[in-house]
Amino acid sequence: MKGRQIILDNLNGREAAALIVDGKLEDLLLDGDGPRPGAIYRAVADRPVKGQGGLFLRTPDGSAFLRQVKGISAGDTMLVQVTGHAEEGKALPVTQKLLFKSRYAIVTPDAPGLNISRSIRDDDLRDTLLGVAHEVMGDSEMGLILRSGCEGAGADEIAEDIAAMADLAAAVLADADGPAELLTEGDGPHALAWRDWVEPAEVVTAEGGFDTHGVEDMIAALLQPRISLSGGGFAYIEPTRALVAVDVNTGADTSPAAALKANIALARDLPRQLRLRGLGGQITLDLAPMPKKDRRAFEMAIKSAFRADSIETVMAGWTPLGHYELQRQRVRQPLVLLLEGQESAS
């Protein structure tokens, strides 16, 4: 089926949202366990970690870890925001740089100034948006970023969105004193879909949408390690405790360019596969053997693919054994763990 569809439903009792583009599952949001990324806490400083420049904090939902801090003493309170999901047995990752995100606006208390997404290039529209931003923000010391979703939206709708985020930010910042407390919850899958999937799409909210639109079958395929690549190659994506291993194979293709074609096909699909499977951390690619002269073409393909991905991923480069490594932010929980945990609990 051509076009974009957003399916809002529940999967095994978890709130879920799926984005389908031209009949292919492009993104999947599934409510996880524990605090959601984006949640804001009033936390209490506990103990520093010597040699790492970090600090453990107390929150109502357990221990959190804040990196690169100075001048904070045990017992001090501060506002922190969850940046990702905690790995098993580890503290919740948090930051002091708070962001208040909505569909059209991001309010940045620690970064003053009014900014507009670079993807909005129409000068008249940019001038209009700046006028709306100045009118709503007034002389506020907080910063504002107007997102690409503003393109095509009405001025009143954008102004209302900015005002809501600015009011929320002001209320949270005014509530910095007191015991450890959850001040705002992070957005769930349905709110995230509304916030981030802004391109025109058919939105399906009827119960059972995942079943009727084939999303459940697409998810079942994600629970298998093997994926097919364009051109006849295939790969295995297998998470371990230490890293995510990706093994690329050429399949039946025995042409001289088979390895490069399979590796580039993997590079182009890898951001989507990692996003759908909720995988992050260290990722090691065991590519199909190819001459060193072909590495440049592969590097260009994989950098281009991840440039369009919303999750921060660092290209670590080649290892002495010829593997290619990535380091990806853990902003989602592994899909297989969420679904297996739900099944074992039911």
Report the C-alpha gap between 268 and 230 in whole angstroms: 10
- What pLDDT sits at residue 51? 66
- Burial degree of 174 (CB within 10 A; 0-12, 13-18, 19+): exposed
* pTM of the model as a whole: 0.89
Work out the angle between the directed axes of helices 155-173 and 123-137 (0-180°, nearest 10).
40
What is the secondary structure of 25-79 as a DSSP string? Answer: EEEEEE--SSSPTT-EEEEEEEEEETTTTEEEEEETTEEEEE-S--S--TT-EEE
Q: Residue 192: count other Cβ atoms within 10 Å of its Cβ.
A: 20
Containing 246, the helix (H) or strand (E) segment is: strand 244-249
Average pLDDT over all residues of the chain: 93
d(CA 187, CA 229): 34
* 280's tokens: 């992050």
Q: Tell me what the mean pLDDT of segment 232-255 comes to.
A: 94
Residues 332/85, Cβ–Cβ less than 8 Å: yes
Q: Decide: residue 156, CB within 10 A, 0-12 exposed, 13-18 middle, 19+ buried.
A: exposed
Cα-based torsion angle of the residue sequence 312, 314, 315, 316 in order, rounded to the nearest 10 degrees = -160
Phi-psi category of 6—alpha, beta or left, where left has phi over 0 and alpha has psi -120 to 50?
beta
* Between residues 247 and 339, the one the model is more confident about: 247
Tokens in use for 155? 């001025």
Q: Does residue 236 carry a pLDDT above 60? A: yes
Q: What does the alpha-carbon distance between residue 261 and residue 161 come to, in Å, rounded to a whole number?
A: 46
Q: Could you report the per-residue pLDDT of 68-79, keeping only the tens digit for each? A: 777 788 889 999
Paired residues of 62 in beta bridges: 59
Helix (H) or strand (E) holding 197: none
Pairing of strands 62-66, 54-59: antiparallel
Q: Provide mean pLDDT across the span 133-148.
A: 95
**Strand, coil or helix: what is 22?**
coil
Helices (H), ranges, the chain:
123-137, 155-173, 189-196, 209-212, 215-222, 258-277, 295-307, 335-345
pLDDT band of 89, cuts 50, 70, 90: confident
Q: Look at residue 346 in the predicted model and tell me its pLDDT.
A: 38
Higher-pLDDT residue of 108, 342: 108
Residue whose tokens read 């904070």: 72
Res. 157: pLDDT tops 70: yes
Q: Which amino acid is at 298?
A: F
Shortest CA distance to 228 belongs to which of 253, 254, 255?
253
- Label residue 272 by pLDDT band (50, 70, 90): very high
How long a stretch of residues is the chain? 346
Q: Dig out the tokens for 212 from the structure.
A: 């009727």
Residue 278's H or E segment, with its range, is none
pLDDT above 50: residue 270: yes
What per-residue confidence (pLDDT) applies to 254?
Answer: 86
What pLDDT was estimated at residue 344?
A: 38
- Is it the case that residue 342 has pLDDT exceeding 70? no
The token pair at 158 is 């954008």
Q: Please report which confidence band the pLDDT of residue 341 belongs to, taking 50, 70 and 90 as the band edges.
A: low
Number of alpha carbons in the 13 Å side-chain half-sphere of residue 18: 26
Residue 345 pLDDT > 80, yes or no?
no
Judge whether residue 47 has pLDDT over 90.
Answer: no
